[in-house]
């Protein structure tokens, strides 16, 4: 008898098990669970006047549109001179980048290659080459562009940056990394930190830039830039100077340094010729008749500013906390004989030979050129990095061209909506009732057949 009833009850029992399992699953607590974030990458080649550097940046792909997220993943120093030094051999400029590009292939995961933007920005060296020979500059850019386009990244062009762009992007980078541009949420309201922004100062092989936020009237609109970042408006003054414009003076200066004459007064006199402060058609100027509003707030100085001051501070062991100490450190360095300098600061001889010239130039640029005094110098920090990322124009350039790094939708494991959950509950409940009804029907049918 049992053998005859069991096959009849098997279908309703299976339906009942399925319905019961569904009800149990629906009763389990659920919540949204964020998946481990994937990462996006971006690559910027900083083609400076004396060398090229590659920076690989990394950020969570599901980031919200805030700041303080993007960081430096890796970097690479291209061997040889800047791409402008290949004016007579454009193809060599492209080949010089290959070693670092091969590193980028390893640093960026293969599945992210096609979606990784790749940029090359050239600065003062190429600006000068473009002034002397636009055809040669175009040939160099075409050669490096051809090389970059051969890699599986999303190559978005190679171009020459203006001095103004270089200054503004450096300012964006510094304040982005130091979280001066970040917005905080508090009870549903957004606000900026009260500490404000820092001014940014860059010094490369052939140009220098100063950029800072200002509220005073700018008499020369060409040096004023309006930015809107994260819903906030910034009005900044920026200016770029080609600091190696007077080649003859610098040749004399470097010749004096290389001869080791140990004469700081001669060195200072030669450098001071680079800063013409005798003429000014505005209410106030920096040098060469260029308007500059009063220095406002604190500043961060990077690139060659940092390297020069760090040499005085660490290699020479001299204090540079005040402008007076910086002057004294420069004078001490320039009074060293070549043998004394080598003994005190062993290192690459080419940089060591230029240490007096570079230190004097930085000291004169800060005091005579930009007008720093003891009070404003106290708000000047010399830094190479912030948040483990090199400070320079490259990150700000990428943030600008990628629209502040647009985000992918966050990856979530979603639970059922309440309405869908209710429908599923009713469905599995109906399945249990149908199984019960079918089972009863099968039992009654079996009893009726047995009665006959």
Active site residue 166: yes
Alpha-carbon dihedral sign for residues 10, 16, 18, 20? negative
On the 0-12 / 13-18 / 19+ scale of CB atoms within 10 A, 79 is exposed
All residues at 6 or more sequence positions from 45 whose CB lies less than 8 Å from its CB, including other chains: 52, 53, 54, 55, 78, 97, 100, 118, 119, 120, 121, 148, 158
- Mark out the alpha helices in 78-123 (DSSP H runs): 90-95, 98-107
Please report the pLDDT score of residue 409 as a whole number: 39
Distance CA 419, CA 52 (A): 59
pLDDT digits (tens, 9 = 90+) for 246-290: 344 444 455 554 455 678 888 888 888 888 888 899 999 998 899
Question: What does residue 367 show for φ and ψ, rounded to 5 degrees?
Answer: -85, -50
Distance CA 423, CA 375 (A): 72
Question: What does residue 400 show for φ and ψ, rounded to 5 degrees?
Answer: -70, -45
Cα separation of the two ends of the chain = 15
CATH no., domain 243-382: 3.30.420.150
Paired tokens of 152: 């599986």
The DSSP letter of residue 285 is B
pLDDT digits (tens, 9 = 90+) for 150-177: 999 999 999 999 999 999 999 999 999 9
Q: What is the DSSP string of 176-212?
A: HHTTSS--EEETTEEE--TT---EEEEE-SS-EEEEE
SS3 225: strand
| 38: enclosing H helix or E strand | none
Paired tokens of 83: 């791409």
All residues at 6 or more sequence positions from 88 whose CB lies less than 8 Å from its CB, including other chains: 136
Whose CA is closest to 8, among 452, 430, 432, 446? Answer: 446
User: Which one of the listed residues 166, 213, 224, 331 is annotated catalytic?
Assistant: 166
The answer to whether 43 and 54 are in contact (CB under 8 A) is yes
Q: In this structure, are strands 33-34 and 412-413 parallel, antiparallel, or unpaired? A: antiparallel
Please report the pLDDT score of residue 74 as a whole number: 97
Give strand pairing partners of 233: 228
The answer to whether 210 and 251 are in contact (CB under 8 A) is no
Paired tokens of 21: 């399992």
Contacts 24+ apart (CB under 8 A), 319-322: 322/374, 322/377, 322/378
All residues at 6 or more sequence positions from 433 whose CB lies less than 8 Å from its CB, including other chains: none
The answer to whether 206 and 132 are in contact (CB under 8 A) is no
Q: Let me know if the fold of 39-238+387-401 is the same as that of 243-382.
A: yes
Looking up tokens 């106290």 gives 378
Assign 3-state DSSP to the chain and report helix, strand, coil percentages, each to 5.
45, 20, 35
C-beta neighbour count of 228 within 10 angstroms:
8
Paired tokens of 260: 């080791």
Q: In this structure, are strands 389-390 and 117-122 parallel, antiparallel, or unpaired? A: unpaired
pTM: 0.79
CATH no., domain 39-238+387-401: 3.30.420.40
Whose CA is closest to 123, among 200, 50, 212? Answer: 50
pLDDT average per 10 residues of sequence, the chain (452 residues) = 54 61 58 66 95 94 60 96 96 97 98 96 95 96 98 97 94 92 51 72 92 85 84 87 54 50 81 85 90 93 96 96 97 92 85 88 94 96 94 94 52 49 59 65 64 56
Distance CA 404, CA 395 (A): 10
Q: Domain residue spans in the chain?
A: 39-238+387-401, 243-382
Please report the pLDDT score of residue 87 as a whole number: 96
C-beta neighbour count of 320 within 10 angstroms:
23
Whose CA is closest to 119, among 167, 81, 151, 154? Answer: 154
Paired tokens of 249: 């003076």
Please report the pLDDT score of residue 449 as a whole number: 63
């Amino acid at each position: 008898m049992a053998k005859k009833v069991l096959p009849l009850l098997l279908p309703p029992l299976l339906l009942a098990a399925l319905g019961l399992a569904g009800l149990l699953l629906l009763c389990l607590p659920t919540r949204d669970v964020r998946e481990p974030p994937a990462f996006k990458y971006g690559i910027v080649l900083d083609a400076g006047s004396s060398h090229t550097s590659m920076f690989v940046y990394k950020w969570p792909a599901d980031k919200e549109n805030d700041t303080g997220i993007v960081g430096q993943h890796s970097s690479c120093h291209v061997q040889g001179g800047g791409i402008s030094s290949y004016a007579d051999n454009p193809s060599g400029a492209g080949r010089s980048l290959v070693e670092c590009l091969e590193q980028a292939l390893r640093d960026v995961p293969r599945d992210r290659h096609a979606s990784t933007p790749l940029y090359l920005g050239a600065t003062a060296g190429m600006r000068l080459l473009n002034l002397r020979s636009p055809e040669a500059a175009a040939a160099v850019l075409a050669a490096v562009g051809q090389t970059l386009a051969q890699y599986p990244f999303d190559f978005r062009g190679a171009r020459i940056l203006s001095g103004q762009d270089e200054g503004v992007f450096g300012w964006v980078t510094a304040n982005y990394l130091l979280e001066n541009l970040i917005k905080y949420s508090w009870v549903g309201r957004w606000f900026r930190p009260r500490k404000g922004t820092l001014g940014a100062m860059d010094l490369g092989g052939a140009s220098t830039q100063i950029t800072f936020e200002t509220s005073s009237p700018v008499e020369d609109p060409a040096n004023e830039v309006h930015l809107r970042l994260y819903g906030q408006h910034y009005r900044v003054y920026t200016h770029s100077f080609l600091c190696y414009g007077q080649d003859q003076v610098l040749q004399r200066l470097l010749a004096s340094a290389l001869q080791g004459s140990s004469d700081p007064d001669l060195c200072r006199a030669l450098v001071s010729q680079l800063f013409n402060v005798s003429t000014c058609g505005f209410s106030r100027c920096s040098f060469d008749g260029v308007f500059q509003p009063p220095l406002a707030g604190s500043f961060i100085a990077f690139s060659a500013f940092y390297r020069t001051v760090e040499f005085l501070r660490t290699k020479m062991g001299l204090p540079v906390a005040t402008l007076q100490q910086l002057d004294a450190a420069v004078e001490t360095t320039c009074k060293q004989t070549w043998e004394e300098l080598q003994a005190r600061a062993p290192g690459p001889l080419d940089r060591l030979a230029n240490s007096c010239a570079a230190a004097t130039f930085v000291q004169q640029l800060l005091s005579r050129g930009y007008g720093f005094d003891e009070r404003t110098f106290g708000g000047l920090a010399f830094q190479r990095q912030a948040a483990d990322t090199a400070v320079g124009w490259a990150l700000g350039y990428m943030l600008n061209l990628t629209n502040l790094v647009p985000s992918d939708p966050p990856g979530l494991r979603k639970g059922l909506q309440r309405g869908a959950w209710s429908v599923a509950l009713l469905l599995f409940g109906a399945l249990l009732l149908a199984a019960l009804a079918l089972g009863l029907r099968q039992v009654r049918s079996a009893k009726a057949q047995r009665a006959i």
